[in-house]
Amino acid sequence: MKELIQAESTAEKGELAAAEVIRSRFRRSGIDSWIDSWDQQRANVVALVKSAGRRAGLLFACHLDVVGPGEAAWEYPAFGAVEAGGRIYGRGAVDMKGGIAAVVTAISRIVESGTKLQGDIVFAAVAGEETDSHGAERFVADRGRLPALAGAIIPEPTDFAVVTAHRGMLWLEVTTTGKAAHSSTPYLGVNAISSMRLILNELENYEVWRPTHELLGRCTMSINTIAGGKALNVVPDKCTLGIDIRTLPGQDLQRVFADLEVIFAGLKSKNNEFDAAVSVRRRLDPLETDSRCDFVRSFCSAVRAGQTKAVGFTTDGPYFASLGAPVVIFGPGKPEMCHKPDEHIEVADLQRAVEHYKNVILKFLT
């Protein structure tokens, strides 16, 4: 766990070092694992525990990457993995190296105990969940190597709640294009920031999608970045806006694009020099696992959870769901700790997670 935090797997450094920590841990228990790496430092690590093959297997699907330490000061060094007061501090302690360490330990202990398994265990820790989901895409594209699966477990921090649903994500970039000019003669240019202001005014009252979902609530939209202008004496010819839309199952995303086109066309009809375009920066589908299916019911009984719930954050879950197996999210650590300074996990929670994952493996595979 500490080595995993120390293997600083931010978007800048890549996931390879963290993947190697996991491979050497599995090797010590005689478990087969391999690393898929690309772009020098990007990596997935996958392990497979073979069985008699009489039952469908289980997939534990994690992500290796972490977000950066951020601007705020930390009391403990962000990649030091300091243990103090029964907690381990460091970026990724809850999101999600704690969950990874607990799963790796549970699998290793089951294998070391010599338990006869009736179905395979697949472990995957993939790259780029926080940025581009490339790792999940590559893993899912290589599905030919996988056994039939009874279900997939994502050990993200849920504080031991069984989560079966989350909203999706649509990240849009809106760009306005103008014409540069010396700002002593602004009338010779077209100001892209002024054009963007017109769009912002329209978006102020725009509602993306009205129907609410019984578990997931509303679709929301938040404008989170804006950039434009190069110098104080130049009329800007470009301005970009970043919009984060959290989507619901069954939502027609084409409608968002159609609505934006209507807004743009309306603005252009009033001002011929207005020019705007929209592009997709990232898209992740919502997750909605049937909470009454056999897998979820057995999973809940294995971890002694009474009910399932939905969460506000997103995961790579929809990629793993595309393998055709039901997906649950279940892991140690408080979700509200994610991406914060002094991120930490209770050592007792890690131990509790190991026991839960062992029980899940025993319930489904023996």
Q: Given the rule CB under 5 A, which residues bind Zn ion?
A: 95-96, 156
Using CB atoms, what's the residue nearest to Zn ion? 95
Q: Kindly provide the b/e burial profile for residues 277-311, where b requires at least 16 CB atoms within 10 angstroms of the residue's own CB.
A: ebeeeeebbbbbbebeeebbeebbebbebeebebb
Decide whether 174 or 327 has the Cβ nearer to Zn ion: 327
Q: Least separation, in Å, of the C-beta of 155 and Zn ion? A: 9
Peptide bond into 196 cis (omega under 30): no
Q: Least separation, in Å, of the C-beta of 95 and Zn ion? A: 4
Could you tell me where the beta strands, DSSP code E, fall in the chain?
A: 32-38, 42-49, 57-63, 82-84, 87-89, 121-126, 149-154, 162-166, 168-177, 181-182, 220-228, 234-235, 238-247, 276-284, 287-288, 308-311, 327-329, 344-346
How is residue 363 written in tokens?
């319930």
Decide whether 236 or 286 has the Cβ nearer to Zn ion: 286
> Is 19 exposed, middle or buried, given 0-12, 13-18 or 19+ CB atoms closer than 10 A?
buried
Q: Least separation, in Å, of the C-beta of 130 and Zn ion? A: 7
Decide whether 156 or 288 has the Cβ nearer to Zn ion: 156
Q: Which 8-state DSSP code applies to residue 331?
A: -
Contact 343, 95 (CB under 8 A): yes
3-class state of residue 143 by DSSP: helix
Decide whether 202 or 244 has the Cβ nearer to Zn ion: 244
> Cα dist. 236→51, 133, 263, 268, 284 in Å?
63, 33, 22, 18, 32
Q: Least separation, in Å, of the C-beta of 106 and Zn ion? A: 19
Q: Least separation, in Å, of the C-beta of 356 and Zn ion? A: 18
Q: Least separation, in Å, of the C-beta of 269 and Zn ion? A: 44
Decide whether 156 or 349 has the Cβ nearer to Zn ion: 156
Q: Least separation, in Å, of the C-beta of 94 and Zn ion? A: 8
Decide whether 239 or 321 has the Cβ nearer to Zn ion: 321
Decide whether 91 or 358 has the Cβ nearer to Zn ion: 91
